[in-house]
A = this chain, B = another copy of it.
Amino acid sequence: MKSLLSDEFAQHICQIVSEETGYRLIFVNQEGTIFAAYDKERIGDFHSVGKKVIDGIIEEGVVTQEEHERLKEQMGDEAPRAGINLPVIYKGQRLANLGVGGDPEAIRPILGLTRRTITLYLENKEMLDHLTNTIESINGHLQSMLEKTEEVTTGSKEVERSTFKTQNTTEASIEKVKKMEEVLKIIKQVSSQSKILGLNAGIEAARAGQAGLGFAVVAKEIRKLASESEDSVAGVSVILEEIQEIFQTIQEQVETNTAIIEEQTSSMVEMEHLIGVVEKAMTNLVAETKKT
C-alpha cells in the first residue's frame, strides 16, 4: 500500500496546497518520519504527533494557539505548536498523516479537502497500477504466442518442403511406370513371337511326319508357355495401371496439402502481424502509464 502514495506525489500535493492556500503541508509516514513537506528541510524529521495519529493512538492531532501557550508553560520548547494533523485513510488503513501549522479551525476544511483529493487520486492510481501490471503479464503471454506462431510457421515450412519432395518423388515414379510399360511391351512381343514360333514349329513337325512327332509335343508346349506369358503380362499391366492411379492420387493429395499449407503460412504471417500490433500497443500503454 505504501508505494501507492509516492514521495513525488506527496511533494506535488504540498506544492499545490501552498500555491492555492498558502499553508505549508507535511506528510508523515508509518515510522513517524516526514517524507514530504513544503519546507523541504523538514523531510526526514521525526513528528511525534503525526506518529500518534498514524498509529491510531489519537484520532486527530489538534492544538489550538491557546493550548500551545498553556503547554509551553509546562513543557517549554518541547510543547507542540498550534496546528492540525489528520490521517489519510485509504481502504481502512492509515497511509499517512497530513499536518499543517496554524489555526486548526481555519485549516480543517483545507486539510479535509486535501485528503479527499489524495484518496480520489489513490483510487485511480491503484486502478492504473493494476492495469499496468495486468498489461505487463499479458505482454509475457504475447511473447509465448509469438513463439508458438514461429513454431507453427517453422513446421509449415518443413511440411511444405517435405510435400514438395513427395511431389518430385511422385513425378519421378510416373516416369518409372512409363519405362516399365515399355519393358512389358517387349515381353508381350516376345510372347506373341513365341506363339507364332510355336505355330510354325507345329506346321514344321507335321511336315516331318513320323520323325516330327516329338517336335509336335515341343511346339504345343511352346504355344502353352507363350500363352501363359501373355496372360501374366496382362496381369502385370493391370497392376501397373493401379500403381499409376495410386501415384496420381498421391499427387492430388500433395497438391491439396500444398494449398492448405500455403493458407496456413499466410494465416501465421497475419497472426505474427496482429501479435506485433497488440504488443506495440501494450508496450506503449505501459510506457504511458509509467509516466503518471
What sequence of 0s and 1s flags, for each residue 268-289 of chain A, a beta carbon within 8 Å of any chain B beta carbon?
1011001101100110110011
CA distance A233 to B201 in the complex (A): 25
CA distance A221 to B196 in the complex (A): 11
CA distance A101 to B106 in the complex (A): 18
Chain A interfacial positions (CB closer than 8 Å to B):
16-17, 19-22, 109-110, 112-114, 116-117, 120-121, 123-125, 127-128, 130-131, 134-135, 137-138, 141-142, 144-145, 148-149, 151-152, 155-156, 158-159, 162-163, 165-166, 169-170, 172-173, 176-177, 179-180, 183-184, 186-187, 190-191, 193-194, 197, 200-201, 204-205, 207-208, 211-212, 214-215, 218-219, 221-222, 225-226, 228-229, 232-233, 235-236, 239-240, 242-243, 246, 249-250, 253-254, 256-257, 260-261, 263-264, 267-268, 270-271, 274-275, 277-278, 281-282, 284-285, 288-289, 292
Please determine whether A267 and B152 come into contact, CB atoms closer than 8 angstroms.
yes
